[in-house]
Amino acid sequence: MKKRILTGITTTGTPHIGNYLGAIKPSLNLATENPESFFFLADYHALIKNKDSQNIKESVKNVALAWLSSGLDTDRSYFYRQSDIKEVTELSWILSTITAKGLMNRAHAYKAATAENKSDEDKGINMGLFSYPILMATDILIFNSTHVPVGADQLQHLEMTRDIAQRFNHLYKSIFNIPEAIIQEDGKVVPGLDGKKMSKSYNNIIPLLSDEKTLKKSIAKIVTNSLEPGQPKDTDNCTVFNLFSHFASNEEQEEFKAAYKEGISWGDAKNKLFEAVNSELSPIRERFNELSKDNNLVNDLLDAGAKKVKPLAQDMLGEVRELVGISKIG
Ligand code: ADP
Ligand code: TRP
């Protein structure tokens, strides 16, 4: 069976370097060897967390431009918006009828949300959040993807997708491929300014598409300890060093480690990090500035993408409808 790569990014807020390192960059690397690559904007997922329609629309545009500026070639891959493929919602419903509620109870995102609540554990939690993994499984299964490059935080969702596919295959017929996650080599989650996972939801991001000045400013905000210049510093559990390691060669990392031992100041360490990040992001920023000039570009590309993928989704949904018994009565 041919490899079929698929990944999506939720369209809330501004794309950040965690999205770039965890999803966009590894996916585009894979896409160079695999013509069957599907990249999409998860705007149905965005509704779960975000009720601001303007923000969602803007985020669709920015996440799309993040993919395109980072090198996505729409002639060689499928690029689309989740909500343009309405078959996704129908398949998601069908899959929800074979998914155990207990499986969803165990989802990290749902558990984390209930853990924050005290007397009423479900306070503020919508059904979208609860069944989020089913919608994600649908995204993956509707195109029979084989490999799903994601950040380490998404592994559990991939395991659930496999469970759901196996259950359907067992109950009806083996039509779904059992997909595999592809996690970046070190399997690490990219830390944000406060050292926690960088996320659009935590207000701790380094944006991917900002100008140089904003990039520098956000790197300056990374939280460090209060060791003075001249005092040796530890590279373990250090956000500055961790981020640097994603943008630098082994040799550059060794040099930076030595500088830490010699007591480099936090200001100088952040400048070095800025240079490393900026040299990788400058060409992306240039393309972004260029592509942003064309106001219709994103809509046009997404419309064309939807036309390409829709027939594939329709085929899969047709087969599923037949298997479960909601097709024409013969
Ligand atoms: P966010 O948490 O900012 O809302 P998404 O959930 O939309 O980001 O994630 C889109 C993709 O980017 C997923 O593959 C996810 O694993 C990856 N990703 C997001 N944040 C990080 C991070 N801090 N480190 C590594 N990968 C990440
Ligand atoms: N859940 C993913 C995230 O928030 C986004 C996403 C939605 C996705 N559907 C997907 C990723 C399908 C990979 C495959 O990070």
Which pLDDT tens digit goes with each residue over 19-31?
999 899 999 999 9
pLDDT recorded at residue 129? 97
**Mean pLDDT of all residues in 60-71:** 98
pLDDT at 186 over 90: no
**Mean pLDDT of all residues in 220-233:** 97
What separation in Å is there between the alpha carbon of 222 and the centre of ligand 2?
Answer: 27
Q: Count other C-beta atoms under 10 Å from residue 311's C-beta.
A: 9
Residue with tokens 């067992």: 170
pLDDT recorded at residue 124? 94
Ligand 2 site-directed mutation target among 139, 161, 201, most atoms within 8 Å of CB: 139
**Mean pLDDT of all residues in 137-142:** 98
User: Domain 5-189+295-324 carries which CATH code?
Assistant: 3.40.50.620
Q: Give the ligand whose atoms come closest to the C-alpha of residue 15.
A: 1
**Mean pLDDT of all residues in 222-238:** 96
pLDDT recorded at residue 35? 75
pLDDT recorded at residue 201? 80
Ligand 2 binding pocket includes 273 (Cβ within 6 Å): no
pLDDT recorded at residue 118? 87
pTM of the predicted protein model = 0.94
Q: What is the CA radius of gyration of the chain?
A: 21
**Mean pLDDT of all residues in 168-197:** 92
pLDDT tens profile 37-61: 999 999 999 999 999 999 999 999 9
In the structure, what pLDDT confidence band is assigned to residue 151 with cuts at 50, 70 and 90? confident
d(CA 41, CA 260): 40
> Is-contact 190 246, C-beta < 8 A?
yes
High-pLDDT (> 70) share of the chain, %: 99
pLDDT tens profile 92-135: 999 999 999 999 999 999 999 999 998 999 999 999 999 999 99
Ligand 1 site-directed mutation target among 63, 153, 201, most atoms within 8 Å of CB: 153
Stated as kind and residue range, the H or E segment containing 127 is: helix 127-130
> Is-contact 139 82, C-beta < 8 A?
yes
**Mean pLDDT of all residues in 226-250:** 96
Q: What ranges do the domains of the chain cover?
A: 5-189+295-324, 210-290
Angle at which helices 266-292 and 53-69 cross, to 10°: 100
Ligand 2 binding pocket includes 66 (Cβ within 6 Å): no
d(CA 282, CA 107): 38
d(CA 139, CA 149): 13
> Is-contact 135 88, C-beta < 8 A?
yes
- Ligand 1 binding pocket (C-beta < 6 A) is 9-10, 18-19, 21-23, 150-151, 153-154, 189-190, 197-201
Ligand 2 binding pocket includes 147 (Cβ within 6 Å): no
The top-level CATH class assigned to 210-290 is mainly alpha
CA dist 124 → 113, 116, 224, 242 (Å):
9, 10, 34, 34
Ligand 2 binding pocket includes 183 (Cβ within 6 Å): no
**Rounded-to-10 torsion of CA 34, 303, 315, 44:** 90
pLDDT tens profile 297-323: 999 999 999 999 999 999 999 999 999
Nearest CA to ligand 1 atom 16: 151
Which among 167, 157, 158, 55 is positioned nearest to 110, based on CA atoms? 157
pLDDT tens profile 275-297: 999 999 999 999 999 999 999 99
pLDDT recorded at residue 184? 79
pLDDT tens profile 242-282: 999 999 999 999 999 999 999 999 999 999 999 999 999 99
pLDDT recorded at residue 74? 96
